[in-house]
Structure 1
Amino acid sequence: MARIEHLEALTKAFSVEGHGVDEKSLISILGKWEAEEGTAFRKGTPDFFTEDERQFEKWNDHQIRLLKHQFMRFKNAVVLWAMHPWERDARLAREALKKGPEAYGVLVEIGCSRSSQELLGARRAYHSLFDYSIEEDVASHVHGPERKLLVALLSAYRYEGSKVTDEAAKSEAETLSIAIKNGHSKPIIEDGEVMRVLSTRSKPHLHAIYKHYKEISGNNLDEDIEDLRLKETVQCLCIPQTYFSKVLDAALKLDVDKNTKKALTRVVVTRADIDMKEIKHEYHELYGVSLSQKIEDTANGNYKDFLLTLIARGGYN
């Protein structure tokens, strides 16, 4: 490979705009380059290096921090995949609480997309790992009206049978419709009946409510809810494949923050053996490209290969 091609390949491999570093290319090129190629690379990549007053090119500290995150993506994905699902959810919840409001969607995700037994297991693991209940930590860390919602979702033990009382579902759809219309006088997230429905009803029952709401209002329930946390809750409970497809698409954009990017690892690892086939189908329907192709185009190196391996477990590209 010519020197200029080396430099171009290195710049691409080191790129922090994507997801993960292309480790294979780095090993191949760095293992062969000569001293003058290193000098040329440092001088030719001002985004990575700046010339010090002592006449040498030094790494940009910000770029070093970004690259550390990129190198760790593969490691983090492997660690999460090997973890017991209960421990994984407990640690994800703990991390979300430490990060603050911008990460509280992870708590909604855990509370809404896990089965009753899985959620109970996560609560047991949280207690074992951190010597507090997850409900206690949420109540003490989260402030504002969303606290009540998050505690309720993470405390839920929903009925998981198929029985649905259609009249009750229709009545509760009307209750939600009224609460949304009156949102200007009473925020919907503070409505006790709305909280009761979303935190206690079975998922088949909620699907029926979702259907009846569309019949009543002409819109989908999540479309009429402006509160972000409630919108996430409704989507994750009633249309989870759409919810996860949107989270994945946001994570696969090149210009998003690192917390948003981390959702790619989280969703692929936690849904690989659950409903990845359905998520991939929905992703293709929404965005006109297969999820595997999007990852192929966006991610790099061993991290990309591992993600593609996991999503292939569910069949359908």
Structure 2
Amino acid sequence: MRAGNCSVREQNQTQTWRFTTCNCNPCRTFIAKEDIHILVRSKRPSLEEAEGFPEDQIIDVFKLKLLWIAEEFISEADEEDGVHMEDVAEDYVNEFINHNMIQIELLSQGGQVLICRVHDLVRDLAKEKATEHKILGIFDSTINKDIVKRDVEEVKLMCTRFSYLKVLDLTSVRSSEVIPDEIGDLILLKFLGLMGGIDEDVLVIPPSIGKLKKLQTLCGSRYYHTPYKHPKEMCELKEIRHLMFYTIDGKMNIGGDQTKRQTINCISYAELHHIDTINWTNLHTLKITGSRGKEGEFYSLESIANLTNLQTLSVYME
């Protein structure tokens, strides 16, 4: 939603931006400069992260919350009495909404915000703050026609030169057939979004992924329907909370001792059957895909009974 009739006025020595929305609702929205300063300051969730999304693009709220957590605006110190970091992040989302900083685009049936959009004015201010604090870098591959080769080299360059990265989101980038081994050198990473492939070719996640001991979120590209092959080192990611893939090739290679996990999307029916889920008490979202097994082979879903906090279960069987 774009804003129109933008004006600036002085009120009690505090600048206030006023604009009228351009849809059928004639309401006016007021954004105070002091509120913007409060909501983008350091050590708490910030709309500076939203500047990393292309202009006019809708924003996945769940992903935004995971970015806040990865940037340590929210930490495990905020968890208490069954309240997870993701719950704390949800409270901040609602705070932004109450301050008219973001617009709701889509709600779940339960009233949770799923998709949002940032006001143009707020995004410009967030961009200014991000530039000022030097917290965000954007690599635009569209300026080079040979984007496949350049993207892979850029990833290698980032892994070599930016060793302190906590967030690396490549989900909108296409690769050839390779995810560079150098990904494993970013040992401080907490959020990693993998690049997509070409023509739905399988992309192999390198064994070096096991070096990312702090990784909390690992997700595949949603744009290119790329199947990913997971190495056995996946079971070494003890801090992992969210595994989000739309297509996999073979097993996810995860273990029952990865107890912080909250999201698994997606795991094969056959693999889940052989995992002891007794300690997966934090899991709230599970997507199961694949076939029922070979002829004469039967898999049970009894292990789901151990998932005492499960909220969403999706099962897709051939």
TM-score scaled by length of structure 1: 0.31
Structure number with higher strand proportion:
2
Q: Which is bigger in relative contact order (C-alpha 8 A, separation at least 6)?
A: 1
TM-score scaled by length of structure 2: 0.31
- For the pair shown, the structure with the greater C-alpha radius of gyration is 1
Structure number with higher helix proportion:
1
